[in-house]
Amino acid sequence: MSKVSRIQEKIAKAIWIMRQKTKNAVVIVILGACWGDEGKGKVVAFYARQADLAIRATGGANAGHTIYIGDHKIATHIIPSAIVNKGTICLIGRSVEVDIDILLGEIEEVYNLGIEDVYERLKIAGVANVTLPYHKALDKLEDAVKFEPVGTTGKGIGPTVESLVRRTGLKVYDLLLPVKDLAVKIKEDGKFIKPLFDKYGKIVKDRKGERLFTDEQLNEIDGYFVNPESLAEKYHEYGRKLSKMIVDGQRLVDTYYYDNSKTIVVEGAQAIRLSIETGDFPMVTSTDSNTLGTLSGSFLPHNAPSEVIVCAKSHFTRVGQGVFPTEYKSHIDYYGSLTEYSPEEAYIGDTMRDDDGEYGASTGRPRRCGAPDKVLMSNSVRVAGADAICLNCVDQEGEFGKKVGKLQICEKYEYQGKVIEFFPADINLTNEVPTPVYKDFEGGWTITSDMEEYEDLPESARKFIEAFEEGLGAPVKYIGVGPHNDDLIIRLDKF
Ligand code: GDP
Ligand code: IMO
Ligand code: MG
């Protein structure tokens, strides 16, 4: 039997167990537990093998989910990662910020990689939000004007949500309007955005102290608002191209959800600590990437999940600004600029980033790296109501531990003179980063992607996983042993 057949069999068993406990479809929700990039895309592609419907729920092109189509590694941004599986219908959900330029590029990319039925299987909820070019420019402007920038991805997510909240934003359905009606909507949205460019456009500077926008770029942006017809024409044409894919998301999801023979995979984006509701505000994204936001973005009710899986890597990473208690020193920051630390002082952090390839799938930015943190993790398990943990990248830790001398897991924090075991919510008030209390491990193990059972893993790796799992409130049911879609150990005894 091939690896794929064995994996298929295990997934089928896991889904069968879940199906016994629900009268509706089996719904598997995959979320990030930390600050994004935990390998969610891979887990989605893994479960997609047996999914009838898959939904990309929140966020937009700020996400980059690495999956493999055959031997080709790609990062999906808006298109659902389950597109890799020929039998799965893939829906772009209600709370997604859809950048049509990027989406069309992704459709073409997967088509060229052999997913020729992408036009039939991909559906876009008509009520999803549209990111327009001026949202992307505004994202950069707003972050640069701020006293403390968030370090956003610049993909226009925040400003698209601002337009939504102001109730002037465009929905995907609007792209089907006549050009003149679409132009009126763009003009209305622009009423609130143009003054910001008028005020700051010429004076705002980038990190090097140079003008963020040239006069030419500012003229182009101004043109969107003063003379919105040409932008309206372009997006009307996009609407025409996509029209067969635009659907009533609720009706589509209902047909699958109220059928006990179906399986639905929900692809969360970003992560619990990046959620605007449950993350480290203000250093967060603009949508709720926790369980409830993700379900709402998927047209599913609160009690839909058969299993909520929170993903983490066995080393933690973050891109952009914000608290990171277990961060190792690095000699470059997430913009690639030199920090106060020399390469010698930053040996552990630099080694982790470079040896583990920690550069963003969406922006290519160097990721900040650190030790796995159980305080953060147990908080995420609770706030997500997680049923399972997926611990990815355990294969990378053995070599890293050997090279730098040890592996660390953060067990507790010292904060405000006390030892605590919860993630403090008042970090922004106290301006104090908790000091981690670590337990050390030797590392040194070798894990290969042909290890398919938990018992195949070296004892030292199992001890590390079990120490991480202990007391978190949900079992580590999935263990990542490599980057490919099938490089996951699934522990059926934990179901
Ligand atoms: P996502 O945004 O949560 O989907 O994660 P990203 O794709 O942004 O980042 C995860 C990175 O880790 C990608 O480069 C994946 O290929 C890689 N990855 C995921 N799981 C594993 C694993 O178990 N082992 C190894 N070596 N790499 C992994
Ligand atoms: P996936 O789905 C990692 C971070 C940005 C920034 C903050 C706000 O691949 O895990 P935004 O552009 O959303 O306004 O940026 O959130 N961020 C991510 N970091 N992975 C992601 O997505 C991210 N999406 C947003 O770096 O700190
Ligand atoms: Mg990512």
Radius of gyration of the chain (CA): 23
In this structure, the answer to whether residues 20 and 48 fall within a common structural domain is: yes
Residue 491, in any domain of the structure: no
Using a 6 Å cutoff on CB, does residue 41 contact ligand 1?
yes
Residue 431 banded pLDDT, cuts 50, 70, 90: confident
Structural domains of the chain, count: 3
In this structure, the answer to whether residues 371 and 445 fall within a common structural domain is: yes
Closest by Cα among 383, 388, 358 to 64: 358
In this structure, the answer to whether residues 267 and 318 fall within a common structural domain is: no
Q: Where are the beta strands (DSSP E) in 248-367?
A: 263-267, 307-313, 316-318
Using a 6 Å cutoff on CB, does residue 480 contact ligand 1?
yes
Q: Among residues 242, 270, 299, which one ends one of the domains?
A: 242
pLDDT for 294: 98
Q: CATH number of the domain that 415 lies in?
A: 3.90.170.10
Q: What is the pLDDT of residues 143-201, one digit of tens each?
A: 999 999 999 999 999 999 999 999 999 999 999 999 999 999 999 999 999 999 999 99
Residue 489, in any domain of the structure: no
Q: Among residues 291, 310, 329, which one ends one of the domains?
A: 310
Using a 6 Å cutoff on CB, does residue 42 contact ligand 1?
yes
Q: Among residues 265, 282, 310, which one ends one of the domains?
A: 310
Q: CATH number of the domain that 165 lies in?
A: 1.10.300.10
pLDDT for 1: 85
In this structure, the answer to whether residues 137 and 113 fall within a common structural domain is: no
Q: How far apart are CA 211 and CA 99, in angstroms?
A: 25
Max CA pair span of the chain = 67
Instruction: Report whether 207 contacts 227 (CB < 8 A).
Output: no
Atom from ligand 2 closest to the CA of residue 158: 14
Residue 193 structure tokens: 């955005």
In this structure, the answer to whether residues 226 and 287 fall within a common structural domain is: no
In this structure, the answer to whether residues 98 and 188 fall within a common structural domain is: no
> Is residue 302 flagged as an active site residue?
no
Residue 402 structure tokens: 């050997």
Burial of 450 (0-12, 13-18, 19+ CB in 10 A): exposed
Q: How far apart are CA 287 and CA 295, in angstroms?
A: 12
Output DSSP code: residue 50.
Answer: T
Sequence letter at residue 297 = G
Using a 6 Å cutoff on CB, does residue 158 contact ligand 2?
yes
| Residue of the CA atom closest to atom 6 of ligand 1 | 37
Residue 494, in any domain of the structure: no
- List the single range of 359-373, 439-453, 459-473 with lowest mean pLDDT: 359-373
> Is residue 331 flagged as an active site residue?
no
For residue 316, give the 3-state DSSP assignment: strand
In this structure, the answer to whether residues 185 and 47 fall within a common structural domain is: no
% of the chain surpassing 90 pLDDT: 95
pLDDT for 344: 94
Q: How far apart are CA 392 and CA 327, in angstroms?
A: 18
pLDDT for 302: 97
In this structure, the answer to whether residues 111 and 135 fall within a common structural domain is: no
Name the residue with tokens 């611990």: 391
pLDDT for 429: 84
Q: What is the pLDDT of residues 197-226, one digit of tens each?
A: 999 999 999 988 999 999 999 999 999 999
pLDDT higher than 90, residue 427? no
Residue 492, in any domain of the structure: no
**How far does the centroid of ligand 1 lie from the alpha carbon of residue 137, in Å?**
29
pLDDT higher than 90, residue 364? no
pLDDT higher than 90, residue 65? yes
Closest by Cα among 155, 148, 140 to 193: 140
Helix then strand then coil, in percent of the chain rounded to 5, is 40, 20, 40
pLDDT for 398: 94
Closest by Cα among 285, 281, 279 to 429: 281
Give the range of the structural domain holding residue 42, as residue numbers without chain letter.
3-125+247-310
| Beta bridge partner(s), residue 412 | 437
Q: How far apart are CA 142 and CA 192, in angstroms?
A: 14
Residue 45 CB contacts under 8 Å (≥ 6 apart), including other chains: 67, 68, 81, 82, 84, 85, 485
Using a 6 Å cutoff on CB, does residue 152 contact ligand 2?
yes
HSE at residue 184, side-chain half, CA atoms within 13 A, is 5
% of the chain surpassing 70 pLDDT: 100
In this structure, the answer to whether residues 178 and 253 fall within a common structural domain is: no
Atom from ligand 2 closest to the CA of residue 363: 26
| Residue of the CA atom closest to atom 6 of ligand 2 | 152
In this structure, the answer to whether residues 117 and 193 fall within a common structural domain is: no
Residue 488, in any domain of the structure: no
Residue 30, in any domain of the structure: yes
Residue 486, in any domain of the structure: no
**Residue 67 φ then ψ, to 5°:** -140, 170
**Residue 285 φ then ψ, to 5°:** -85, -170
In this structure, the answer to whether residues 317 and 306 fall within a common structural domain is: no
**How far does the centroid of ligand 1 lie from the alpha carbon of residue 172, in Å?**
30
- The pLDDT mean for the chain works out to 96
Atom from ligand 1 closest to the CA of residue 311: 3
In this structure, the answer to whether residues 119 and 135 fall within a common structural domain is: no
pLDDT higher than 90, residue 407? yes
